[in-house]
Structure 1
């Protein structure tokens, strides 16, 4: 059972909210749209559980999901208009944050328990969960979270509060407008800094306080612990190339660990087999009277103790090997997925000073002054564009080179596969020829009788002499006997195959001499 039962809260600032995002939150989809969404391997929208989704309205009560006549993005725009919010010009690259998107969740097993109790839930794709009903605990949890949001941001500023029970883990989407007061007029307006701080330091402190407050007021009531802070943890956001390099390094280490564990397991199995052989030997010694019963029991106890210890070590190493093999499989899969997608261009941070007018407008000669300023701005702008162009051109060249290397590697693998196919085809032809020769030889009654007679002799451990039909010479048939770990049926098959091949070779030589 997972003991890491923690709450989860994700906050994201947004400058706009599209119709597609609103439709997803309110599940304003038809069956075709859901099927298209589920074609993505990362999505799992369960149609049979969608009826269990709900939302909390502006009255603080539970309603079916999408009950409101006005779509979510329309309600957001109306609230922004009430607050007098005006974005910058449409062509401006910088826009203010107008709302915050929250996602509330927690430990998978705990949230599933709150939503469905002890009912059996099948989380596989296209599963039938129509038998499920929604439990009251998930509704209480959602109401408490709604109250927590209303207390911090104001109930009328919660534009949407949707609870999804049709995905892998139950979670909540909340769309909230941050509102503050202007210093001079005291009028309410959209103000991100009033609720989330003026800089990253203040934002980090506010988030810590939010997690603590969320745990004390809501999470603790439902057995959800406070989420871990990222302070002091080695949390990094890697570029794709560094990510692939890290995955490759981790995969090599995991592969090395797998090989080491396999070697250890082989040694342990060999040692256990050795001790089991010793047990058989002392059993024979006791039966023949070579050792006394007391000595036999002492030796047997010591050997069994050693076997038990090695068996424990073997089980431990086997478990670790299984874990490492799974880890290696995941790392290999992640690395392959990362390599399969070539990102056209990475985001470059281009440092430049925007063109600005620094001189004052003269009283006379305004036209010439404007012309000079335009020329100066055009020159600065051209330099910036050339710098960006150079960065993207170099990046494109690197991407093309990387793609070429991948193609060459694919051709190398293809060439190796072709050689392997050719070798397998040749081996198949040889084996087919041998098999047909064996069938021809076995069709001869005298040769067949000879084969079975020699095979029976080998199985019984009797020395065998194979006489050639071309003269009086004879040759001894070499045979190493049964292997220690070989089963009876496997040993019999090996004897028969060995005799068939040997006799067939003798017959082939005889035919050639004739």
Structure 2
């Protein structure tokens, strides 16, 4: 279980829907379960294993009598805190933070089920499977961590699911500080960079306080994993784990983008509708003002019935007053709709930017790992060729062996390490050091008719090859000398 890693995912919302609450508490009808099983990997025969942590860290069956929105309302009422989204036509403020806590699938299944045989295929019967105490202890440690960091009074629900493929916690948290909602202050920070730093720190704190005890690693960044020497199998595992994590994050962001695009379309329709209403009201107002102006002129010029004109003027003035009130209301709603639309577009831009960063991260990571594997394969290939040459040269007659005299293959086969070191010094421009190194090991064939010095248009591969050839000549013993062995 050395490769087990923790999982921590933070999702922010402007409230909890009934559907979300039902999913967390499994408050489903038979049809609800059928639908859930069609779209996800749920096992109703393991549903009885789910539990939640209540106040004081007590392990309890999941309470299906009270939905999460009701629990939130009770918390706010008890503490005298108003939900800022209450009364708004559309929720505006981020009042709920959903945090998923978990770990690598194999490790979480071990905590939940121990060595019991569990069939994870859809439709399997796992009614006899029992919940192990380790998952309860782990969940209580996570609960304690959340309480210490954000306050137990702010936890609306803390449900542990064992009826899915990977056991995990759903924590519904209210971002409240000093008696008020303060999502930006507690989580977001002043910008996306501070938010990113806080999320990384949350991962680190979670590992240090909880998962180091439960045999799960913090996980490392791409730059860290790429900087360490690993075996081929480790590369394979590392690539698989890191790319899977990145792909999951990209998938999650794309899902959020889809939801935001839907919200944007609704917001755009709302803005368009309100704009049309305002334009129609302004047109009606202009018509009424024109009618009023005519009626006032006729009254002043004593044209027509005075009582009728006076009544018409009063009616028009009342209608204009009502139109002004409606215009003021629609202007306010239009400004709010514009702000919401701008906010949604900013969220889309930020998530798109982060998604692009993740894709670039995945590309760089994959390229880095493949480059290292490529270098490893080349090293193995070169070593194999050298060994084959050595074993074959022993069986050659003098005329056949002469064909390889003064070749790079012969030089690498006989003095591979020394030639490579000397070539490296030459490549780096350390000619004097390369000469000293060659002479110190019996070399003396440095003089040659090879052009020396790197050409301006010479690429690294061509330059490296010339350095290898030069090093090969430098490592040869001078005439009359014997090579040091």
TM-score (norm 1): 0.44
TM-score (norm 2): 0.46
- The structure that has the greater radius of gyration is 1
Q: Which has the higher contact order (CA 8 A, sep 6+)?
A: 2
